[in-house]
Amino acid sequence: MSEIVKVSSKGQVTLPAGLRKRLNIKPGTYLRLIETEHDFRVTVAPQGISSLLGKVPVSGTQDFKRVRDAAMEDRINEKHARD
């Protein structure tokens, strides 16, 4: 399927309603632009780490906030170790 859209003076495009509906694109959905040699592709992008909640089977309950906080602390420590 192919759609033609026009780029506004601000660099914005409007996705056709049918396409948004088929791909379940709602306000606030992130899209990823992937540049190729001569053009680009558009894909629906994950919306941050919270989009992963429940994607990986685990035994027991998930303490997502604790895991996220630990990952953020690890990232900070890695950055400080490089500086």
Which bin fits 60, alpha (ψ -120 to 50), beta or left (φ > 0)?
left
- Residue 56: what pLDDT? 76
Residues 69 and 71: their CA atoms lie apart, in Å, by 5
Q: What confidence score (pLDDT) does residue 47 get? A: 72
Element (H, E) at 82: helix 64-82
Query: Given this model, what pLDDT does residue 8 score?
Result: 96
What lies within 8 Å, CB to CB, of 64 at 6+ separation is 50, 53
Helix (H, G, I), strand (E, B) or coil at 35: strand
pLDDT for res 35: 92
Query: Across residues 68-75, what is the average pLDDT?
Result: 91
Rounded-to-integer distance, Cα 66 and Cα 83, Å: 26
Instruction: Give the model confidence (pLDDT) of 8-65 as tens digits.
Output: 999 999 999 999 999 899 998 889 899 999 999 998 887 766 666 677 777 877 788 8
Tell me: pLDDT of 5 over 80.
yes
**Paired tokens of 48:** 């941050």
